[in-house]
Structure 1
Amino acid sequence: MTSPNIVFILISDMGWRDVGFLGCKTHKTPNIDRLAHGGMIFPQTYSCGPNCAPSRASIMSGMYTPRHEIYTPGGASKGDVRLMKLITPARDADLERFPSNYPIALKPDVTCIPQVLKSAGYTCGSIGKWQLGNDPEAGPISKGFDHNVGGHQRMGRHFSPYKNPAMRDGPEGEYLTDRLTDEAVQFIQDNRDAPFFLYLAHWALHAPILAKAGKIAAYEKVGHPNPPYGAMVESVDESVGRVMQTLDDLDLADNTLVIFSADHGGIAKYTNMDPLRGGKGALYEGGIRVSTCMHWPGVIPAGTTCDVPIYGIDFMPTLAEVTSGTLPEHQPVDGESLVPLFSGATSLKRDTLYWHFPLYLAGSDCQNITPLRGGRAGQGTGWRTVPSGAIRKGDWKLIERFDTGSVELYNIADDIGEQNDLATDHPEKAAELLKDLKNWQRDTKAIIPNEPNPYYDMEYELLNNERDQVSLYEKAQYF
C-alpha cells in the first residue's frame, strides 16, 4: 500500500442527518454528497463521547474515554449543583461546591495520530479546533503537528477579529470557516511533494450559530426552518468542495484518503435530529451517532455503504495501517483498523461499543431527550445527560444511570429512535449487557460517581420542572 496523503475533515456539532448523503433535504451539501458517493458511507459511525472534548481526545489518542479522562473543557459538570443527585466535579455560577479533578488536556505521555504518522515520514498540519490543551504542553505542536492554525483550548469568534491566540486576525468580517479553508488549501499546496496529514477541524457548526449575511438571506427566502444554521452548513460544504478541488488541481486526489466526520451529534434546538432521540450531550443515538464517509479512489469502492458500527478510536489504527506508521507501545490503542471494510469485510473483530460519561450537562434543548418530569426513562431535570454509561452489542443497546441504578434497553435495528424501552420485556438481555458494561468499566478503571450530593434539593428540582430551562443552558460554559 503506497503512502497516501490523509485529509481528515471534522465538523463540530453536526447532526447525523445534516447532510444529503444521509437523507437531508433541508441543507445544501452537494460537495459533501459528491465526496460520499465517490467513496464509502458509514451510517453507523459513533463518537466516543456525546460532546466535543472527549470525542476529540479519543480520536487523537485511540483510547476509550476512561483512559484519557477528558470529559469537558473545564473538567467538570455544567449546571446547577442543587439539581445534581450525585457529587461530581462541578463549576456552578452560584454554588461552587466540588473542585474539578478531571484533566482538560491530553497528558504529555499520550501519543496522538500525528506522532504515529510522523514515524512514517508525514508532514502534519492542524487547522482549526483543538480543545485538548494548549502548547507548549498539550497543544497541536506538542502532539506531533508541524503546523498549527487556530488550535487552542477556546474558540474565539466566527468572524474576524477572532480573539484566538493561535491564529492571526484577517480582514474585519472575514468568516472563520472560509479562513480555515484558505489555510488548509495553502497547507496542501505547500506540502504537495511529500506525504502529508491535514487535520481540518472546523469550529462550525458550534454555537453561536452565525453565518454570512448573504447566505442567511437566501435561506430566509426559501423558508428554511433555521436560516443561519442552514447557511453555516452550506459554508462547511463549500469548504469541502474547495479542498477537493485543490487536490484535483494538484493531481493528488487519486492518492489521498479523505475522511469526513463529526465530533458528536447535533444540538436539538438548532437542527432536526429525527429519527434519532436526543442530541449533543446525550448517550442516546442523537448525541453519539455521526455523519461519516471516506473517499480513496482505487482503494475504497465508489458508491458503497458499510453498515458495520465503527467509532472514533478506530481512526488511529486505521491511519497507522494505511501509512505504515508505528502505533505506541506504552498506551493502549482501543480502536480497530477499518481497512478490511474498504475491501468489503462485513464485520470487525470487535462486536461491542462502550461509552462512559460521569458528569452532568445542563441544557435547554432537552425536550427531545427526556421528559422534564422524571419517569423511568428520564435522564434528569434540565439535563442533556446525567452521569451514565452505555453499551451497544449487536443490535442491542443499554444505558445505565449512575444516580438511580436504572437501565434502559433498546433494539437499535427495530427502534433507532429509542422510544421503546425493553428492559422489562428482556431482563436476561439487559443483565447480559449490564454485566459486560461493568466488566469494561472495571478494565478501563472508569470512575463512577456514587456519593449522594448533600446540596441536592428535591423541592428545588420540582420547582425547576415548572420553569423555562434556558437560564441553565445560558449559564453553562461551552462544551
Structure 2
Amino acid sequence: MHKCLIGLVSLLLCFQGVMAGGKNPNRPNIIFILVDDLGWADLATYGNSIHETPNIDRLAASGMTFTDAYASAPICSASRASLLTGKSPARLGFEFVTKPDDSDVPEGTLLRQPRYPRDLPLSEKTIAEQISPTYVCGYFGKWHLTQENDRYLGWGNMFGPFQQGFRVGAEHRGSHSYGYSPAEKGTFSNLASGTFPVDSVTELSIRFLEQHRDAPFMLYYSMYYVHAPVKTRSKWLYDKYREKLGSAASEELIHYAAFIETMDHYIGQLLQAVEQLKLGENTLIVFTSDNGGDPRFSKSESLRGGKWTLYEAGIRIPTIVCWKNVIKAGAISRIPINGYDWYPTIAELTGVPNLPKCTIDGQSIVPVLLGKGQSTTDKNRILYWHFPFYHPPVVNSKPQSAIRMGKYKAIYFYEEDRIELYDLDTDSAEQHDISRAEPAQASTMKKLLFDKLDLVHARMPVKN
C-alpha cells in the first residue's frame, strides 16, 4: 500500500509537470494506430530498402522513433488485451489468441498447456473506461478479444469495445482481404495506377475525428493490415513490387510489400485529416504493432525469430510517437518499453486520478517522450513475457517465457528446462547464447523471471 501511495503521488506530480512545462496546456487528444503483424524491419524508417512508406517516414521525422519497443506478447489477442489494460498477458491469464471453448489442442505434447483464453473479462478496466468520463473514445477495426458470437474477429454483444469504454465504433473489415467477396478473392481490381481501394475503417475513423474535433477524444484505429491472408487486389502495386523484388521473389513477398504500402497510404489519409482539421498541436499520435512480423513474409536479417516466438523478431516492434511542438522532432529513443506501458502513459497525459499502479505492469513513459527518461533505471528496467502454449503451424513454438533487464535477455524453454542468455548490446540477432559463459547472470535472470511469474500468478504448462 505504501508503494502504491508513493507511486500515485509521483504520477500526479509528473502529470502536473507535463502540463506546466508543455507548450500546450490542454490535455491532448489521443490517436492510437495499431497495425497487425508488422515486423520491426518492415519500414524504411527501420532500414527497409524495399517497402515504400512515405507517410510513416514523415511521422517518424516529426516525432520520436523507438529502437527497443516491444509488444507484450508474440501473438495478437494477448498483446491487444495487454495494451488495453496495462497488464502483462501473464497477469491477465490471456496469453494466446481468443478461441472457442471446444477448440482442439495439440496432441502428443510433453506438457499440457493452459486453457485457451476466450473473452476479455468485463471486470478488466480498459484505458477507454479510465478516460471515458472526460474523453469520447472511438474504436474502429480489429478487436479480437472475444468468441461470444463464434465469428472470427467479430465483436460481441456482451464482450466488445462498446462494453469496455468505447462510445463509438465499427467492426468493418475495410479493404483488407478479410473483407473480400468470393468473386474478389484471387483477382485484381481495375484501379488506376497510384490509386488505392476505399477503406471503410479509415473513412469511419476520419469521420470520427471530424465529428469530435472540438471535444477531447481518443481514436483507436485498429488496422487489419498487414495480417494474412496477404493478397493485394491492386495490380499496379503488385507489378511495382514484382519489379523491385526481382524474378526470384515469392508471390507472398510481393503481395506483402504491396500490403505495407497500402497500409501506409491509409495512415497517410488519417494523418492528412489531422492536419486539415488542425488537430496536430494538441494530439498525441502513437503508431505501433501488436506483435512481430509473420516469418512467412516479414524478413529480418538483423533479428531472430518472428511472430509466435519470444526471440526479438517476435516481440520487438516498430513504434513511433508524435506530438507536435511537445515531442522533439526526429528524436530516437533506445529506452526499452513494452506494450503495457501505453495504459499508464495515456492515463497520465489525460489526467486520470487514482490509477491502480500496483495492479498493473505498465510504467508511464511520459518522461521518455519529453526527453527526460534516459536514466539508468529506465535502461535497466525489467520487462517480461509469458507464452505457455504450443503453436505447431509455421514455427512449431513450444511453451516459453522471457525477461529483459538492461542489455541482458533470457528465454526459458519449459520442455527442456533450459535457459538461453543473450547480450543485446552486442548480439541483438541472438546468435550467441552466453548462458554457459555467464552462468551466474543466467541464474539471476531465471530467478527474476520466475519471481515475476509467481507474483502475478501466471498460468503454467504442466507435465502430461
* TM-score range for the pair, normalised by the shorter chain length: 0.7 to 0.9
Q: CA RMSD in A?
A: 2.4
Distance 1:352 1:303 in 2: 27
Distance 1:199 1:172 in 2: 31
- Deviation string for 1:11-50 (max 9, x for gaps)? 1011101111111111010100100110000110001100
Structure in which a larger fraction of residues adopt helix: 2
Task: Give the deviation of 1:105 after TM superposition.
Answer: 1.5
When residues 140 and 175 of structure 1 are mapped into structure 2, their CA distance, relative to the original with a 3 A threshold, is farther
Q: Secondary structure at the match of 1:138?
A: coil
Contact 1:127–1:183 (Cα < 8 Å) also in 2? yes
Alignment match, 1:455: none
Alignment match, 1:110: 124
- Deviation string for 1:383-414 (max 9, x for gaps)? 1x211111111110111111111111111111
Alignment match, 1:351: 381
* Amino acid of the structure 2 residue aligned with 1:148: G
Contact 1:116–1:325 (Cα < 8 Å) also in 2? yes
Alignment match, 2:6: none
Distance 1:145 1:107 in 2: 15
Task: Give the deviation of 1:172 after TM superposition.
Answer: 13
- Deviation string for 1:422-458 (max 9, x for gaps)? 1111100000000111111110101211213xxxxxx
Alignment match, 1:299: 326
Distance 2:345 2:309 in 1: 27
Q: Is residue 43 from structure 1 mapped to residue 43 from structure 2 by the alignment?
A: no
Q: Secondary structure at the match of 2:313?
A: helix
- Deviation string for 1:321-371 (max 9, x for gaps)? 11112465498121011100122220355711111111101233x3xxxxx
Matches within 5 A, 1:148-167: 148-150=169-171, 157-161=177-181
Question: 1:132 pairs with 145, 148, 169, which one?
Answer: 145
Contact 1:177–1:203 (Cα < 8 Å) also in 2? no
Distance 1:30 1:156 in 2: 20
Alignment match, 2:212: 191
Matches within 5 A, 1:243-282: 243-282=270-309
Distance 1:58 1:302 in 2: 28
Alignment match, 2:417: 405
Alignment match, 2:77: 53
* Amino acid of the structure 2 residue aligned with 1:360: Y
Extract unaligned runs of 5+ from structure 2.
1-18, 20-25, 147-154, 183-188
Contact 2:401–2:412 (Cα < 8 Å) also in 1? yes
Alignment match, 2:392: 362
Alignment match, 1:445: 457
Task: Give the deviation of 1:156 after TM superposition.
Answer: 8.9
Alignment match, 1:242: 269
Alignment match, 1:167: none
Distance 2:292 2:164 in 1: 26
Alignment match, 1:87: 112
Question: 1:284 pairs with 311, 316, 322, which one?
Answer: 311
Alignment match, 2:428: 416
Distance 1:177 1:109 in 2: 37
Question: 2:447 pairs with 432, 435, 440, which one?
Answer: 435
* Amino acid of the structure 2 residue aligned with 1:403: E
Q: Is residue 395 from structure 1 mapped to residue 395 from structure 2 by the alignment?
A: no
Contact 1:398–1:410 (Cα < 8 Å) also in 2? yes
Task: Give the deviation of 1:158 after TM superposition.
Answer: 3.2
Alignment match, 2:28: 4
Contact 2:172–2:201 (Cα < 8 Å) also in 1? no
Matches within 5 A, 1:458-469: none
The share of aligned pairs that are identical, in percent, is 34
- Deviation string for 1:86-140 (max 9, x for gaps)? 1125xxxxxxxxxxx3432111110001111213x11111111110124332201
Distance 1:217 1:429 in 2: 51
Distance 1:431 1:390 in 2: 13
Contact 2:56–2:264 (Cα < 8 Å) also in 1? yes
Distance 2:328 2:418 in 1: 44
Contact 2:177–2:231 (Cα < 8 Å) also in 1? no
Task: Give the deviation of 1:301 after TM superposition.
Answer: 0.4
Contact 2:383–2:405 (Cα < 8 Å) also in 1? yes
* Amino acid of the structure 2 residue aligned with 1:122: Y
